[in-house]
């Protein structure tokens, strides 16, 4: 007997990148040496001091029981301490922080917490595809905010009509940005807060790549701007900062009413995280941050190797300012980002993510991850050069 899926499940967005995984798999199964630059999965291990804290905590019988529904107070205090130390932001551990099962869980939950069917949410395009999943689960409607290169991949609020701004109840933002690698500054967030206050819009800033900035510039936290907690929250995941992607732990910080809504929803869905993971997460936030500096430096070194290499072979590319992604324009002779990605996979055994998978305004680009070794990045550049589709930049070789 086969049971039909609900209309809700049928309505969910198609997982675009599942097809990319299948394509890459079809080549690796045949023995091809694929350089996978299409993924967003950190390639470095979790630092030893965090792993060791997990081992110790896992031996404590108290952690074998259900932990408090809303998380250990020690982790919430650690999150508040982290924001005070790193950004000078004061947070109430109990009322302004909610523990999450990874950043993605929070991003998908938020629309269900604050929106009713038919309500509208402002979503960046291109953007993280799982934003769409949360919107659909809430039966809400998307208003797209185009991110264009000429505007630094920041939304231009003047493009939104007064009707759209009045209708929207929620806005997603994400800087450093996935997929473009763009960053936002204080002036942008100040303007965002002003518009949110005027139009009663809740801002949700996805700060997943908050630790990864380049050229000596530290990414700016939305919560650093005056009035931020009045109009929204920031979602922080430990996945990228501490290479804890598989641990599924993060937190939301900011507006008390939004935090209360998240906690209420999660009361009905979960019984909090394994206590040992929470203890290890607190160690990550409060312990030595040398590993964070080293990781950011590693990504910057990889970024320089990739961007310099591609520039030298004649591909006109723009360097990311943050995150561990580069957002590259496809050559003019290719009709779509999918065509170009398929070409690289077939001819050079290099996997990249087509820009169209991040929204209609992602067309014309591919996303390249900095999540493999410098040697493999150099090999990728060499393979692309051997395709002969770019005119080598001779001046850079002199």
In this structure, are 330 and 185 located in the same domain?
no
| Same domain flag for 273 and 378 | no
What's the pLDDT score for residue 31? 87
Find the domain containing 309 and state its range. 7-45+290-397
CB 251 within 8 A of CB 100: yes
- What is the rounded CA–CA span in Å between residue 336 and residue 84? 45
CA neighbor of 210 nearest in space, from 79, 105, 92:
79
Is there a single domain that holds both residue 163 and residue 312?
A: no
Based on the fold, state whether residues 213 and 336 are members of the same structural domain.
Answer: no
> Is-contact 262 106, C-beta < 8 A?
yes
Last residue of a domain, one of 286, 310, 332: 286
Beta bridge partners of 124: 145
C-alpha to C-alpha distance for 398 and 393, rounded to whole angstroms = 10
Residue 32 has a pLDDT of: 87
Among residues 243, 259, 286, the one where a domain terminates is 286
Name the domain boundary from 228, 258, 286: 286
* Under 8 Å between Cβ of 169 and 121: yes
The sign of the torsion formed by the CA atoms of 322, 324, 327, 333 equals positive
Burial of 82 (0-12, 13-18, 19+ CB in 10 A): buried
- Whether 254 is in a domain gets the answer yes
Burial of 298 (0-12, 13-18, 19+ CB in 10 A): middle
Report whether 216 contacts 222 (CB < 8 A). Answer: no
Cα 176 to Cα 283: distance, rounded to the nearest angstrom: 24
- Whole-model pTM? 0.94
Q: Would you state the torsion angle of the CA atoms of residues 57, 59, 60, 66, taken in this order, to the nearest 10 degrees? A: 80
pLDDT value at position 40? 86
- pLDDT for 393 equals 57
3-state SS, residue 144: strand
Same domain as 110, residue 201: yes
Same domain, 135 and 264: yes
CATH number at residue 187: 3.40.640.10
| 225 belongs to a structural domain | yes
Task: Judge if 142 and 208 occupy the same domain.
Answer: yes
Inter-CA distances, 267 with 27, 33, 69, 71, Å: 44, 46, 6, 11
Residues β-bridged to residue 205:
173, 234
Give the residue among 162, 132, 130 at the shortest CA–CA distance from 144: 132
DSSP state of 147: B
| pLDDT 10s digits, 131-143 | 999 999 999 999 9
Residue 56 covered by a domain: no
At 93, list the tokens: 């551990």
What are the residue ranges in the chain where pLDDT is below 70? 393-398
Q: How far is CA 21 from CA 17, 28, 36, 37, 394, in A?
A: 6, 10, 10, 11, 36
Residue 229 lies in a domain: yes
Q: Is residue 320 part of a domain?
A: yes
What is the separation, in whole angstroms, between the first and last Cα of the chain?
A: 70
Whether residue 176 has a cis bond before it, omega within 30° of 0: yes
* Cα(48)–Cα(106) distance, integer angstroms: 27
Closest of 323, 313, 335, 312 to residue 389, by C-alpha:
313
Whether the CB-CB separation of 338 and 345 falls below 8 Å is answered with: no
CATH number at residue 22: 3.90.1150.10
Same domain as 209, residue 97: yes
């Amino acid at each position: 007997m086969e049971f039909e899926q609900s209309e809700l499940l049928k309505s969910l967005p198609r997982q675009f990148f599942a097809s990319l995984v299948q394509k890459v798999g079809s080549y690796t199964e045949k023995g091809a040496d694929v350089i996978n630059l299409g993924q967003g999965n950190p390639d470095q291990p979790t630092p030893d001091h965090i792993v060791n804290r997990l081992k110790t905590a896992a031996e404590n019988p108290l952690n074998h029981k259900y932990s408090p529904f809303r998380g250990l107070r020690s982790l919430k205090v650690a999150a508040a301490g982290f924001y005070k130390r790193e950004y000078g932001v004061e947070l109430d551990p109990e009322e302004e922080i909610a523990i999450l099962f990874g950043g993605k869980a929070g991003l998908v939950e938020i629309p269900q917490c604050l929106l009713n069917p038919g309500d509208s949410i402002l979503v960046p395009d291109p953007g993280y595809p799982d934003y769409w999943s949360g919107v659909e689960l809430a039966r809400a409607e998307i208003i797209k905010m185009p991110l264009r290169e000429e505007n630094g991949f920041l939304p231009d609020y003047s493009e939104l009509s007064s009707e759209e701004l009045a209708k929207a109840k929620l806005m997603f933002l994400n800087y450093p940005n996935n997929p473009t690698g763009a960053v936002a500054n204080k002036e942008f967030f100040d303007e965002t807060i002003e518009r949110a206050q005027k139009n009663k819009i809740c801002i949700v800033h996805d700060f997943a790549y908050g630790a990864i900035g380049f050229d000596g510039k530290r990414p700016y936290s939305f919560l650093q701007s005056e009035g931020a907690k009045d109009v929204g929250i920031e979602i922080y995941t430990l996945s990228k900062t501490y290479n804890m992607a598989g641990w599924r732990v993060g937190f939301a910080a900011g507006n008390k009413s939004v935090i209360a809504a998240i906690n209420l929803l999660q009361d009905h869905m979960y019984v909090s995280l394994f206590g040992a993971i929470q203890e290890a997460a607190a160690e990550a936030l409060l312990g030595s941050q040398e590993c964070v500096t080293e990781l950011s430096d590693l990504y910057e070194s990889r970024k320089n190797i990739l961007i310099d290499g591609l520039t030298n072979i004649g591909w006109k590319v723009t360097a990311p300012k943050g995150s561990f992604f580069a957002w590259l324009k496809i050559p003019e002779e290719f009709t779509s980002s999918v065509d170009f990605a398929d070409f690289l996979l077939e001819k050079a055994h290099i996997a990249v993510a087509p820009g169209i998978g991040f929204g209609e305004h992602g067309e014309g680009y591919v996303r390249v991850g900095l999540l493999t070794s410098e040697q493999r990045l150099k090999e990728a550049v060499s393979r692309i050069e051997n395709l002969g589709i770019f005119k080598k930049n001779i001046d850079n070789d002199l």
